[in-house]
Structures are given as C-alpha cells and as structure tokens.
Amino acid sequence: MSEYTPLSELGEFGLIKRINEKIELRNASTIKGIGDDAAVLEPQEKQIVVSTDMLLEGVHFDLTFCPLKHLGYKAVAVNVSDIAAMNARPTQITVNIALGARYTVEAVEELYEGIRLACESYNVDLVGGDTTSSRAGLVISITAIGEVAKGEAVLRSGAKVHDLVCVTGDLGAAYMGLQVLEREKQAFMANPEMQPELEEKQYIVGRQLRPEARMDVVYELKELGIKPTSMIDISDGLASELMHICSQSGVGATVYKDNLPADAQMLETAVEFNLDPITCIMNGGEDYELLFTIPLADYDKVKNHPDITIIGKITEASEGVNLANKQGQSFPLHAQGWRHF
Amino acid sequence: MSEYTPLSELGEFGLIKRINEKIELRNASTIKGIGDDAAVLEPQEKQIVVSTDMLLEGVHFDLTFCPLKHLGYKAVAVNVSDIAAMNARPTQITVNIALGARYTVEAVEELYEGIRLACESYNVDLVGGDTTSSRAGLVISITAIGEVAKGEAVLRSGAKVHDLVCVTGDLGAAYMGLQVLEREKQAFMANPEMQPELEEKQYIVGRQLRPEARMDVVYELKELGIKPTSMIDISDGLASELMHICSQSGVGATVYKDNLPADAQMLETAVEFNLDPITCIMNGGEDYELLFTIPLADYDKVKNHPDITIIGKITEASEGVNLANKQGQSFPLHAQGWRHF
C-alpha cells in the first residue's frame, strides 16, 4: 500500500529541502541558485533574455486529464519556447507554485519531477521560486532566462519583403489533442466505468500534454549558418503569431494553404470532429513550434530540412496578411487573441 | 457619474496596449522591453540577481481593505526588497497577473498604476509579463532582476563570530497594522454603517498596506564604505530570518530585547490587542526591513545612524540563537516558517 504525506506534515522548509535535494546546476553562469534572497547569475559578455508565463488550473490546464508530471514539464517547455523564439539558449528558470492544502507531498514531488526532467532536457538550472498555498486551484508561474551573444537575438520586428516564412514541425495537433481529451472527459463523467480510448490518438494527445520547445531547431539553424530575420513561437495559433510578426515588422505576408504542415492523425481527427483542419492549424495554438522568416538566399539550406516547412513569403505591408489557395485566391487573415475574459 | 469598462470590451491586446503606453524605461541595461517573446537585457560586466514572489488573493492580501494601487506597489516593493537584501540595485521586473472577468479596465489600471509608481520610485523597468484570466481570485507573480558588481553580492551565509547584528527601521508594525485592519473589517461586516477608525493607526496600517524596500539603506551603506557580511530582508519575522542567517553562516547569535526597534503606535496597539510586543517584533513579519551583519570594526560608522539599530552580536554556533533580556537571561529562539498549509 502506498503512503501519502499531507503537506502540512512536512511544512515549508521540509518541502523546499526535499525539492532542492534533487536539483543539479548545469550552467557556468549560475553562481548561486536556490537558498538566498535571490539567485546570482553571471552572464559575462552575453545579453540575457527574460520571459515569464503563468498557468492556472481551470484556465490553462485541467488536472482531470493532465498528469502533474506532464504539467510540470509543459510549464517549463512553454517558457523555454519563448527563449528559443529569441534565438537564445535557456540557462535558468524560477518557479512559483501555489497549491491547495489537499495536495500531498507526493503530488508536489510529481510536479517537480516534471520540472526537473524539463530542466535536464533543456539544460536549464532551477535557481529560485516560491511555494505557497492557494485557496483555489493550482497556479504555476515560471520565469525563464536565457543567454544570447550580442547582436544574435531575433525579434519579431525584423522580417523583410521577399523573406521566406517558415514553420517547424506540424501544426494543429495540440488543439485536436485537447478536443479528444475533452471528449473523453465528458464520456467518463457520463459513465465512470468507461475507459478513455486514447491509443489511436497518442500523437495528438501527446502534443497537447507534453509539448517540446524547439531548441533543436534553434541550434540547427545556427549550424546551417542561418540567422532568422524574425521569429516567434506559436502559442496562440499561426494566424495570430504571423500577424504579430507582420505588424511589428511593418510588412505583409502570404501563406499557402497547401504548404501548411499537418500530421495525418490531426487531419483524421479534425474530420471526425467535424472541424476544418485549416482552422485548427491557423488558430489552434499550443503547438509551441517556431514561426520564423529567413532571407530568400537561404532557401537551399532549408528546402529539404525534415523539420522545417516553407509556408509562404513576406510581402509589402499594403498587401496585408493572407492565406492563399491553389487556385490563386487570397483571403485576409484575422488576429485572434485569447478570449479568456 | 464615472464609467467603467468591462475587460471583455477591451480584450487582451487592447489591455496590453493601454498598460504599455504608460511604461517608461530607465535603465541602460534594458535593450528591449515588453512586446516580444522575451525581454533583452545587457548587464555587461555585472552579475545579475533574480528573485520571484507570488501573491494570491485570500492568502496574501484581502481586497476588502487593500486598495489595488497599494497592492500593485507592494507587490513590486516586496520583490525589490529581496534584491536589496542581496546588496544589489534593482533594474527590471516582469509581472504576471491573473484576474477574474468581474474586473473592470479601470481596476486593472489602478493595479498597474501602483506597479508603475513603484517602478518609478525604485528606478526599475517593467519589461515583460502576462495578463490572463483567473476563475478564482487575483494572482500577482513578479520576478525582479538586479545588478551587482562582481564580488559585491551579499549572501545569507557570510556572518562571522563577533559581527554586529543590525536591522533597519522598526519592527512589528506591519503585523499590528494587519490586526487593526482585520478588526475594522469584522466591525464593518457586523455593522456596514460603521466607518473604519484608522486615523490613529495610520502609521502601522501604512506599514502593512504599503511597505517600502530599504534600497535607501543599501545605497547609504555603500556610501559609508560598509559591506555587510550577510543580509536578508524581514518578510517572515526577525526570529525566522535570523535563524536563516545563523544556519547558513554556521554561527549563533544573541539579540537584546531592549535594543529591538519599535514604533510607539505599534507598542500601544499591541497592548490594546493584548499581544506581547516582543512576539510581534520577533515573529510578525512583513516589515520588509533589512537584517544584516557587519564587522565589529564598522561600529562607529553605524552607531548614530537614525535608520539602523544594532540589536545584537554573532556568536559561536554552539551558543545557539538567543534573545537576551536586561537581567542577562537568554532564551533560545525558534524558527517559524509560514503555516499556510
């Protein structure tokens, strides 16, 4: 029989001690990690990039289908993804967590195990944070810090007319995965005897529950000698991110419907759910792939890359931001921010 | 008649735009603030310090008596206080906020007005963050970044035997202020006609609602040519912070009851509430004063300083951490972390 320890038994200092015991520091720039009023870092001649994100239970995740370990991993990955989108290398994170009294020590350790795994996978040091109580649900707020050589940071604002528009991986799967999870949850609530059927949906469900930041592509672009002119990570959906790049760069863009990268399981599931796959790709969000622009001259370097797809081109601002089909018709895109309120 | 705008009317991008319009950047190290996937900073040869804190409605603050502007100010001040405790200069913050749909645009602007005022007062740049929705109460998570010359950061671990133990300002007032606010809230709930009587309690209530980080003392110590051997800010109470310094420095300490700095209004109110003033001072917390140790040789430099009180001395670890009275009796102190769970 497994034993569970209530948080109250361990207390604040006990919990912090347990978490700290498993922390390894990997970056030379980490001078002092957890244990003081602040962490001390030494980026030397590098510039640093800083990004932060907060995830709330019931808004950003649903613990009925999101295992705590995956949640911890994802919370780190989405922040590292922002660092990747700056063309930087992640080095440190701080983690604030608020949780209810009903959590057991084991549950908190599951969450931190996911955080630890992500730190390992992205070579990041956990250097600080705060663990406090919540009267409502679980809240996770992470700040990620990265390093980049001066002049190497890639902003959203550098796209130029004639640049190629590229994305990594495939799009829309995380959104379809969420639809599947929501459906299985409804079915389970209607009939608790029912076992969720997720075998055939493993890829898209995995994309939702455990996305990866595309640090691999950041490193590969460097090896290929490509510095993107602009870059952003796809958290809200391709359409919205492309609008950000265009408005901040003062350009337009045309992306081609037939070039959009999609996974077969995502496409099948969209049909099954009676959803337009293009809408899922354009507005689904949460894929955490990278959207970036490169000079036309770099075409040969990426054209056969298995993880990069050229989906369109940058145009004059006056042409707007459009989705074009095979027949040569163009439809203007609309931004969709979140609609939480 | 005043008009209130529901958040839904403005939307995410509208809200971000409104907040950004009022942001001024003051630090040369801020290369790129809000508006990209991450902020870009250039600390040059400096080390940077990073600290983070999360405040939740119903746990850390009560909106029935805490005005949103003060809350915004305090959320920044408590983070800056951690930077001060490292002997560093605060330079940037990121702010994550989660709020319910019932909030109006005007309320959010009040909150950000407090944040903006604190940024102005501490010369800090707001460089990033996330505004999202909450199904429960308001959540504010702030990460503060500061700069410090290499070798100048002060940790908790450097206290040496014979060092003097010092604190800034006075202690226990923030805790007593909270007691007063809680009492007036109860009275108001019992009889909504009743007006809170806070005139006579202005100082201690102010200490609770709008604490200041003691950056002034950090700068003054530098001018006096004093580098503390250890330092921590008093968020949880003097006893607990002193235990942190002692355990991390491998030393003991004796502090003298009669030397503890207290404000007259705090003392009177403690009597009124039937509370032991020494307990309020030792365990009250939230004063955000600095506790630090300095070499005995620096005695003359601080002995007449109006904002610094020498409260005791560092001893051998074997002597423990004690509170001594006039009669020469010593009582061992006990750590009290938070008891949220």
Q: Residues for chain A: how many in total?
A: 341
Rounded to an integer, the average pLDDT of B265-277 is: 96
Residue B287 assigned to a binding site: no
Q: Contacts of residue B144 in chain A, CB cutoff 8 Å?
A: 38
Compare CB distances from A132 to B51, B54, B128 and report the shortest one's residue.
B54
Q: What is the pLDDT of residue A340?
A: 40
Q: Set out the domains of chain A in order of their start, with CATH numbers.
A: 11-148 (3.30.1330.10), 164-332 (3.90.650.10)
Mutation to test the B interface, candidates A15, A29, A54, most B Cβ within 10 Å = A54
- Could you tell me the pLDDT band of residue B103, with boundaries at 50, 70 and 90? confident
The burial of A196, by beta-carbon neighbours within 10 Å (0-12 exposed, 13-18 middle, 19 or more buried), is given as: middle
Q: What's the DSSP call for residue A57?
A: B
Residue A53 assigned to a binding site: yes
Q: Which chain A residue has the Cα nearest residue B29?
A: A47
- Could you tell me the pLDDT band of residue B339, with boundaries at 50, 70 and 90? very low
3-class SS of residue B230: strand
Q: Which of A114, A71, A103, A134 is nearest to A5 (CA)?
A: A103
Residue B112 assigned to a binding site: yes
Q: Contacts of residue A58 in chain B, CB cutoff 8 Å?
A: 135-136
Q: What percent of chain A has pLDDT over 70?
A: 97
Q: What percent of chain B has pLDDT over 70?
A: 97
Q: Buried b / exposed e across B123-147, counting CB within 10 Å, b at 16+?
A: ebbbbbbbbbbbebbbbbbbbbbbb
The pLDDT tens digits of the residues spanning A164-179 come to 999 999 999 999 999 9
CB contact under 8 A, B98 and A54: yes
DSSP letters spanning A292-331: EEE-GGGHHHHTT-TTEEEEEEEE-GGG-EEEE-TTS-EE
Question: Residue A284: is its pLDDT beyond 50?
Answer: yes
The pLDDT tens digits of the residues spanning B56-85 come to 999 999 998 899 999 999 999 999 999 999
Rounded to an integer, the average pLDDT of B96-110 is: 88
Q: What is chain B's mean pLDDT, rounded? A: 92
Residue B320 assigned to a binding site: no
- Could you tell me the pLDDT band of residue A52, with boundaries at 50, 70 and 90? very high
Q: What is the pLDDT of residue A336?
A: 54
- Could you tell me the pLDDT band of residue A337, with boundaries at 50, 70 and 90? very low
Q: Which chain A residue has the Cα nearest residue B291?
A: A37
Q: Contacts of residue A157 in chain B, CB cutoff 8 Å?
A: 36
Mutation to test the A interface, candidates B141, B218, B235, most A Cβ within 10 Å = B141
Q: Which of A100, A274, A135 is nearest to B60 (CA)?
A: A135
CA A132/CA B339 separation, integer angstroms: 10
Compare CB distances from A128 to B50, B130, B248 and report the shortest one's residue.
B50
CA B119/CA B26 separation, integer angstroms: 9
Our CA-based measurement puts residue B269 at a distance from the nearest CA of chain A, in whole angstroms, of: 29
Residues 6+ apart with CB under 8 A from B125: B23, B24, B25, B26, B27, B30, B33, B91, B92, B93, B119
Question: Residue A242: is its pLDDT beyond 50?
Answer: yes
Rounded to an integer, the average pLDDT of A113-121 is: 96
Taken in order A38, A39, A40, A41, the sign of the CA dihedral is: negative
Q: Phi and psi for A317 in degrees, rounded to 5? A: -55, -35
Q: What is chain A's mean pLDDT, rounded? A: 92
Identity (one letter) of the amino acid at A224? L
Q: What is the pLDDT of residue B189?
A: 87
Rounded to an integer, the average pLDDT of A212-216 is: 98
Q: Contacts of residue A232 in chain B, CB cutoff 8 Å?
A: 37
3-class SS of residue B244: helix
The pLDDT tens digits of the residues spanning B214-260 come to 999 999 999 999 999 999 999 999 999 999 999 999 999 999 999 99
Cβ contacts of A62-65, under 8 Å, gap ≥ 24: A62/A181, A62/A185, A63/A137, A63/A138, A64/A185, A65/A181, A65/A184, A65/A185, A65/A196, A65/A209
Q: What is the pLDDT of residue A17?
A: 80
- Could you tell me the pLDDT band of residue B27, with boundaries at 50, 70 and 90? very high
Our CA-based measurement puts residue A26 at a distance from the nearest CA of chain B, in whole angstroms, of: 17
Count of A–B CB contacts within 8 Å?
Answer: 233
Residue A82 assigned to a binding site: yes
Q: What is the pLDDT of residue A335?
A: 59
Q: What is the pLDDT of residue B167?
A: 98
Half-sphere exposure in the Cβ direction for B130 (13 Å, CA)? 30
Question: Residue B174: is its pLDDT beyond 70?
Answer: yes
